[in-house]
C-alpha cells in the first residue's frame, strides 16, 4: 500500500513540475476546458434559477388547483377554429360548481381586466393591476395580510366597494399613514381600503402582488358587463385535501357538461386546466433547455479535451529522453502512466475550477442587477462540472500516457540524444 502511495505522490510531483515549466502551454490548454465547463454549468445554473423562480411564484398555489376557462394550458387536439367558438365560463357556472360539485375546498370566479389608475388625495398611481375575484381567492392563493382583512362572502356577493392593496400601492398612496379605512378612487368610484397584502417581491411568473389591487368581482361585472369579451373570465377550484383528483375532475367535467346541455358525443366546450400539468410543462421546457445547453457545452468541452490530448502528445515527445532515463533507473510502466494521467487530470480540473469560478462571479453580478431574481449555482452543478473535468482529463490523457508507459527505455534515451 505504501509503495502505491509513494508512486502517486511522485507522479503528482512530476505532473505539477511539468505544468509549471510550461506556463503558456498550460494556459492555452486550460482555455478549452474552462470555456466548456463555463458553457455547461452556466446553462444549467441559468435554467435551475429560472425553474426555481417560476416554482417560487407558484408556491402559494396547490398543485391540484384547477382553472376552468375556454383556453387550454397544454396542447390540444381540438382545432383552433372550434376553440374560438367556445363560450366563456360564467359567474352562474361558478355558483353552480360551488353548490353542486362535492369536495370543493374553495372556489373563485375572476376576470382579467386592464390596468387602471388609483388615487388618494393628490397621490395618483397609474398602471395598477386590478384583480377582480370572489372571496374564495383568499384561501386558494393562501394570501398573507400585514394590515386589515380580506373581503367576506357577503361583500363579495353584493359587490361592495371595498378593496385590498398590494404593498407597493399602499406605500405609494399613503406613505407612513395607516391605509385601513381610507377612501380611494378607482373606476370613478370611492372604495374603502380594508386590507394590505404582505410584501411579495418581484415575480417572474406573472405580475407581483405588490402592485395589485384586489376587489370583489361583482363590482367589475357591473362596470364591464357580463358578456364583455375583453375581460375573459375563469373559475379557479381548489379540491379538498385527500380527494382522488382524476375522479374529482371527472365529476366536475360531467356536472359542467350537464349544465351546458352538451350531448354525450359533443366535445367539452371548456378546458379543465390543472396547475400540476402546468408545472410539468415548465419542467419539460426547462429540461429540454438544459439538455440542449448541455450538448452545446459538451462540444466545447470535447474541443478542450482534444486540446489537452494534443498538449499531452507534445509533452510525451518532449520528455521521451527523460522517460527513457526514468525507466532505465527502474521506473515501472504504471509510474509513467500515472505521471502523465495526473498531468492531464490536473489540467482539466484547474480549467473546470476556473470555469465554475467564472459562472459564480457572473451569477453574483447578475443577481445584483435583477432585483429579487437570484441566480443559483447548486452543489449538484458544481459536482457535475468537476466530474466532467476529471472525466475529460482522463480520456484526453489516457492514450498519450499509455504510449509513454510503453516506450522502450533504450530507444527513448537514444531519441533524446
pLDDT digits (tens, 9 = 90+) for 238-291: 888 888 888 998 999 999 999 999 888 888 888 888 876 566 666 676 677 777
pLDDT digits (tens, 9 = 90+) for 318-364: 777 777 777 777 777 777 787 778 778 887 888 888 888 888 888 77
Handedness of CA 403, 404, 410, 416 (dihedral sign): positive
* Helices within 204-274 (DSSP H only): 217-224, 245-260
Residue with cell 373606476: 187
CA angle 154, 157, 162 (to 5 degrees): 70
Query: Of the ranges 37-46, 112-121, 167-176, which one carries the lowest mean pLDDT score?
Result: 37-46
Q: Which residue has the higher pLDDT, 318 or 197?
A: 197
Distance CA 220, CA 64 (A): 28
Distance CA 352, CA 387 (A): 9
pLDDT of residue 118: 92
User: Does the pLDDT of residue 63 top 80, yes or no?
Assistant: no
Buried b (16+ CB within 10 A) or exposed e, 133-151: bbbbbbebbebeeebbebb
Distance CA 150, CA 162 (A): 9
Distance CA 323, CA 304 (A): 26
Q: Which residue has the higher pLDDT, 413 or 165?
A: 165
pLDDT of residue 11: 57
What does pLDDT average to over the chain? 80
Distance CA 235, CA 228 (A): 16
Going by the DSSP 8-state scheme, the letter that residue 85 receives in this structure is T
Asked if 149 contacts 202 with a C-beta cutoff of 8 angstroms, the reply is no
Q: What is the pTM of this model?
A: 0.62
User: Does the pLDDT of residue 407 top 60, yes or no?
Assistant: yes
Q: Percent of the chain, pLDDT > 70?
A: 82
Distance CA 313, CA 318 (A): 9
Q: Which residues contact 10 (CB under 8 A, 6 or more apart)?
A: 335, 339
Amino acid at each position: 500500500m505504501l509503495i502505491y502511495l509513494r508512486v502517486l505522490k511522485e507522479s503528482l510531483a512530476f505532473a505539477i513540475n511539468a505544468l509549471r515549466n510550461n506556463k503558456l502551454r498550460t494556459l492555452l490548454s486550460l482555455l478549452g476546458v474552462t470555456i466548456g465547463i463555463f458553457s455547461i454549468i452556466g446553462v444549467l445554473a441559468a435554467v435551475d434559477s429560472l425553474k426555481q423562480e417560476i416554482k417560487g411564484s407558484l408556491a402559494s398555489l396547490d398543485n391540484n388547483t384547477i382553472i376552468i376557462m375556454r383556453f387550454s394550458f397544454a396542447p390540444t387536439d381540438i382545432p383552433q377554429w372550434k376553440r374560438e367558438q367556445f363560450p366563456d365560463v360564467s359567474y352562474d357556472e361558478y355558483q353552480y360548481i360551488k353548490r353542486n360539485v362535492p369536495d370543493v375546498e374553495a372556489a373563485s370566479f375572476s376576470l382579467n381586466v386592464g390596468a387602471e389608475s388609483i388615487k388618494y388625495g393628490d397621490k395618483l398611481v397609474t398602471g395598477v393591476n386590478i384583480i377582480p375575484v370572489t372571496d374564495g381567492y383568499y384561501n386558494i392563493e393562501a394570501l398573507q395580510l400585514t394590515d386589515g382583512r380580506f373581503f367576506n362572502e357577503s361583500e363579495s356577493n353584493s359587490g361592495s366597494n371595498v378593496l385590498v392593496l398590494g404593498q407597493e400601492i399602499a406605500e405609494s398612496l399613503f406613505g407612513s399613514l395607516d391605509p385601513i379605512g381610507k377612501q380611494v378612487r378607482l373606476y370613478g368610484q370611492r372604495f374603502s381600503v380594508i386590507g394590505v397584502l404582505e410584501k411579495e417581491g418581484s415575480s417572474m411568473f406573472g405580475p407581483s402582488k405588490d402592485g395589485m389591487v384586489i376587489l370583489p368581482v361583482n363590482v367589475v361585472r357591473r362596470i364591464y358587463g357580463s358578456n364583455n369579451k375583453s375581460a375573459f373570465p375563469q373559475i379557479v377550484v381548489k379540491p379538498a385535501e385527500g380527494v382522488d383528483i382524476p375522479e374529482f375532475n371527472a365529476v366536475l367535467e360531467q356536472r359542467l357538461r350537464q349544465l351546458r346541455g352538451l350531448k354525450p358525443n359533443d366535445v367539452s366546450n371548456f378546458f379543465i386546466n390543472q396547475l400540476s400539468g402546468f408545472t410539468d410543462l415548465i419542467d419539460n421546457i426547462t429540461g429540454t433547455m438544459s439538455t440542449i445547453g448541455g450538448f452545446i457545452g459538451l462540444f466545447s468541452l470535447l474541443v478542450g479535451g482534444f486540446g489537452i490530448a494534443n498538449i499531452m502528445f507534445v509533452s510525451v515527445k518532449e520528455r521521451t529522453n527523460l522517460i527513457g532515463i526514468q525507466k532505465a533507473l527502474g521506473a515501472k510502466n504504471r509510474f509513467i502512466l500515472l505521471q502523465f494521467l495526473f498531468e492531464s487530470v490536473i489540467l482539466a480540473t484547474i480549467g473546470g475550477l476556473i470555469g465554475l469560478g467564472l459562472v459564480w462571479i457572473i451569477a453574483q453580478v447578475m443577481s445584483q442587477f435583477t432585483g429579487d431574481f437570484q441566480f443559483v449555482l447548486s452543489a449538484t452543478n458544481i459536482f457535475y462540472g468537476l466530474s466532467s473535468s476529471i472525466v475529460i482529463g482522463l480520456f484526453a490523457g489516457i492514450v498519450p500516457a499509455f504510449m509513454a508507459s510503453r516506450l522502450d527505455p533504450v530507444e527513448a534515451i537514444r531519441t533524446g540524444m
